[in-house]
Amino acid sequence: MTAYTGQNLTDALKSNGLTDWQDRQDSIGTRLLTGDFATGLELVNKIGAAAEEAGHHPDITLTFPHVDIQLTSHDAGSVTERDLDMAGQISELAASAGVKADPDAD
């Protein structure tokens, strides 16, 4: 299992088209601008279903008016291919819901 850190992680995010995700040291994260709580809740439920299917679970914070997502592989202590794959699925779910990301927001 490849662990991604530093420039290696930045390059992996870019090469996987995950420009809506940022390196957060031992994890990757993004903020999804849902605009309202109901849209956020619906998106969180879809992300939860995808995470269950993949067997890889993000840390999710649902607030009004956004959802914050963090991904890491705890067994590796860093970001791995599983996180990049899950990030791609989450980005697709957000895009299909018409939700934009602001990955630089904290």
pLDDT in single tens digits along all 106 residues of the chain: 889 999 999 999 999 999 999 999 899 999 999 999 999 999 999 999 999 999 999 999 999 999 999 999 999 889 999 999 999 999 999 999 999 999 888 6
How far apart are alpha carbons 10 and 14 in whole angstroms? 6
Structure-block tokens of residue 71: 């991904």
How far apart are alpha carbons 6 and 40 in whole angstroms? 30
Q: How far apart are the first and last CA of the chain?
A: 29
Q: CA Rg, the chain, in Å?
A: 13
Domain range list for the chain: 6-101
Between helix 37-54 and helix 81-96 the angle, nearest 10°, is 140
Topology of 6-101 in CATH?
Gyrase A; domain 2 (3.30.1360)
